[in-house]
Structure 1
């Protein structure tokens, strides 16, 4: 006899399925729940989609002996949980580990990452080459061979992220950018992308697109951006909604800043900015206003339990909540400054954002006080994270805010809150460059603690002629001797400035980056004739 009554609910949101009622399946949250004041828990990933994702072509028989087993365990327990920084750890702690169980190309990549990560934790200087790590080299080469036979575009995307991580760990700018461009090109050309890839891979590539605009040497190296799949929601239902929209805003702000560089510093300084770029600037300002309103409404409803990183922290849920709130708030402030200043060739204009810079530092300082207290109970501290951390934000404040007290605080916070290496950002290098910019602009020498040795020539806001427009750091680590004939590791840095006649010039210095205590001995101006790689290579004086 046929069963009577309502048929079993098979589609719809999680809440409606639990209540066994028909769902209108509105996105991102159904009207059936929201109209009655209930919390809509969203939609589960379709089983068919996950079955395609997780069904093994063949079960992995393992890829080696004790060294490989140890590397996999190290990744699972230490590397994986710390790689995402303040971002959702699901990709590294769950998705990657699932695929490593049945996809040899993933397992080989994970072993290479684990071996390099452990080396990074125990050795200096950063970016030790993979050729010095036979375990990592062997498995990376094998993964590359395996990938050539892979036909699944989504699997290629996942492995592409792992390869980028491997290149980050070696501080290899060019290879990391190539992998990033390749992955984003696959996303752009894909006719259809599985839901699991949209949910877990696209956000990673959206954030990855940023670093090429910081470290790429020209337009040819810039990848496209990964747009949001859905329009701006009426409200944020969770932290992930706020994170996704801010990732989109921040990546667009960084891209606009880089595209505006010729109008600030280059041969287009006196040209009209194209209408398309001005419209993008206006859209970004509007999006930032939208985001702030939506986030303010969400912030009061956030709990430590629904934070994506809460399960991996040994510092407590409230600490994680403060960390993630800080990350988003700072991104918002910096995005607004970058967007508004994208086409301004006048460094004096940054002075209009002193209140923004002060808010950023006040938030960082408050979090820094919490960090000092919590650090005493921390079980371990990472020296490398895959995602961008706080270093570039503090670097922006230290180099673009001309209030001496604010920028000196930013400099000290770089030592406290910056991870040694955040993808391609190196804390020692960023600190050395920011420190030198402050010294140049205020005509002052800083001691080993980052404090003035004597009264600065410009204690207030420095004049425009003293302001550094841009500092470009060469990627190659070199060894030089200081005045005491002591060897120091460091990098050449170009500092771009303006003459009273409004022409752009640069001078080159060698800055020690092997340790913060070497900074006071690292300044050695060069004649500027040595050819350096950089975005401003083609500049001509005048």
Structure 2
């Protein structure tokens, strides 16, 4: 929907009633009754639209029978009143109103009215058919494949950014994901570079004219610019865009009187292209990935992270797999702020955070609530998932297993890498799940590199190779990375496999016959493994800590270069 001046806006159509689920508010509509029953059904919905607070449940006489009336929150796939009382939620009829998070955003069905040159239309279509689905990941979501495409039809900065990303992604696939690694001086796609520049100019134009660019447009552009820089292997610039967006979100305040978000510099739209709450979820997710690429979270965001966690409590049941993913990542990311502080207890600038034991207790509670809500969703919807969503559920299982290991092995003592050996069954399960996902992932697109911002497989498999010393499990994980063509954020599968192989070689050096994890002795194991990739130079700087000798007590930091 195009934005218009105040006073000229026409009232958008919205359904006048909300029927609730069929268990809380059973429909009197009978297909055999025809139009008369439709009228009766509509009138009955109107009667129960605004129940009093003390009438959450009452009985109504319809056609000579008694019908239960319960105030329904219309949560999906099952409402809370049904879940809390043990009833089976029968779902919703075809006239149920759209989810509240989408109200106020642009129209529901994607428009195909994009106008432009032949090259622009081709790039836009490539983004719509290839880039957006890959960026959505296994679990999907409405941002990349619907909301963003609709917004691009009305905002020039978003449109140019999409054209640049679509064109760059096409070159990425054409050159088998190696295009950017072979260049060291700037862009390799003139069309993408020109549209990227136009996007930046369009974004800054309102500010240069003493106007205000909308908050949502600025945040969406930050995400798109980060994607563009990531595909160019300019990870420092990509991280800067993400951190800039996080800083803006921390500065945004919600006005209870006007019921709108406000910012000192950026403007506020009555109908944002994407709800601010949805963008907040995405940035917390992206910031979590940034902290895995750089040294720890930024502490000026600590208070905002706590506020975010308070607003996003784990529900009784998730409405979708994408919501389950966002909840797991965001809750875990917030908890990570507590763990990082233990590394520097002398820093007076750090806020007071829970000690290791308290963090472990809190994390256990979070993961238990999340698992309960996730299992409740699978009990209802698990049999009706598509193949892509099944792969998504598998990636969530991997993240949950890794979360369990981190939670159970909280460092409260001297670093002892032998402690990881008890998690071998868990590591084996993670590798087996990843094998199943990659087998399905290779069937339709064999030979085509996959690009996404979601860290689903590459980083988890690398973590397994660094923590698991079982020779079979470790080599299976490295083999999966070597043969995969996935790029997840700044993590390319093949270069990551080369670094993982080097970690294995370091620890097994001089060992003649490694049959089990116990054969890799504690003094030979390394920890704090951190690679920094230079894809244009086809190398990575690997840093790690290890004991200086077999009988040493102090660990020392070591750095070396891995080439491929």
Report the TM range for the smaller structure's normalisation. Answer: 0.7 to 0.9
2:324 equivalent in structure 1: 242
Residues 478, 178 of structure 1: alpha-carbon distance in 2 compared, 3 angstrom cutoff? closer
Equivalent position SS for 1:508: strand
| 1:300 pairs with one of 369, 379, 388 | 379
8 Å contact kept, 2:449–2:485: yes
TM alignment of 1:467-478, pairs within 5 A: 467-477=525-535
Query: Residues of 1 paired with 2:130 and 2:102: CA distance?
Result: 32
Aligned to 1:337: 405
Task: Find out whether 1:231 has 2:301 as its counterpart.
Answer: no
| SS of the residue 1:132 aligns to | coil
SS of aligned partner of 1:105: helix
**In the aligned structure 2, how far is the partner of 1:61 from the partner of 1:292?**
43
1:323 counterpart = 2:391: yes
List per-residue Cα deviations over 1:432-490 (Å, max 9, x = no partner).
Answer: 11111111112269xxxxxxxx74498734222111112232343475xxxxxxxxx32
1:423 matches 2:489 = yes
Aligned match for 1:66, one of 118, 133, 149: 118
Task: Provide the secondary structure at the position in 2 that maps to 1:428.
Answer: helix
The answer to whether residue 425 in structure 2 is matched with residue 355 in structure 1 is yes
Look up the match of 2:56.
none
Q: What's the offset of the Cα at 1:31?
A: 5.9
Structure 2: which 5+ runs fail to align? Answer: 1-14, 28-41, 50-70, 207-211, 255-260, 262-271
Deviates more, 1:291-300 or 1:34-43: 34-43
**Deviations 1:355-391 (Å, cap 9, x if unpaired)?**
32122223233445x43xx734447744311221200
Conserved? CA contact 1:387–1:423, under 8 Å: yes
Structure 1 residue 285 displacement after superposition = 1.5
The answer as to whether partners of 2:338 and 2:354 remain within 8 angstroms in 1 is no
Three-state SS of the structure 1 residue aligned to 2:540 is: strand
How do 1:129-528 and structure 2 match up within 5 A?
131-148=187-204, 149=206, 151-192=213-254, 193=261, 196-198=274-276, 200-217=278-295, 220=298, 225=305, 227=309, 229-252=311-334, 255=337, 258-261=340-343, 275-276=354-355, 278-303=357-382, 305=384, 307=385, 317=386, 319-344=387-412, 345-368=415-438, 370-371=439-440, 375-378=442-445, 381-416=448-483, 418-443=484-509, 455-456=513-514, 460-477=518-535, 479=537, 489-499=538-548, 500-513=551-564
**Change over 3 Å in CA distance of 1:398–1:280 after alignment to 2:** same
> What corresponds to 2:73 in structure 1?
26
For the residues of structure 2 that align with 1:172 and 1:296, how far apart are their CA atoms?
A: 39
TM-score norm. by structure 1 comes to: 0.75
SS in 2 for 1:384: strand
> What is the rounded CA distance, in whole Å, between the counterparts of 1:257 and 1:412 in structure 2?
32
CA contact (8 A) 2:21 2:72 kept: no
Larger Rg: 2
**Taking structure 1 as reference, are residues 240 and 92 closer, same or farther at Cα in structure 2, changes over 3 Å only?**
closer
Aligned to 1:37: 88
TM-score by length of 2: 0.72
- Partner of 1:105 in structure 2? 157
Separation in structure 2 between the aligned mates of residue 364 and residue 155 of structure 1, nearest angstrom: 36
The answer for the alignment partner of 1:527 in structure 2 is none
Please give the secondary structure, in 2, of the residue aligned with 1:83: helix
CA contact (8 A) 2:341 2:353 kept: no
8 Å contact 2:216–2:276 — kept in the other structure? no
Range moving further from structure 2, 281-290 or 394-403 = 281-290
- Please list every run of 5 or more consecutive structure 1 residues that lacks an aligned counterpart in the other structure: 1-7, 308-316, 446-453, 480-488, 514-542
Determine if contact 1:116/1:130 at 8 Å carries over to the other structure.
no
- Does the 8 A contact of 1:112 with 1:140 survive in 2? yes
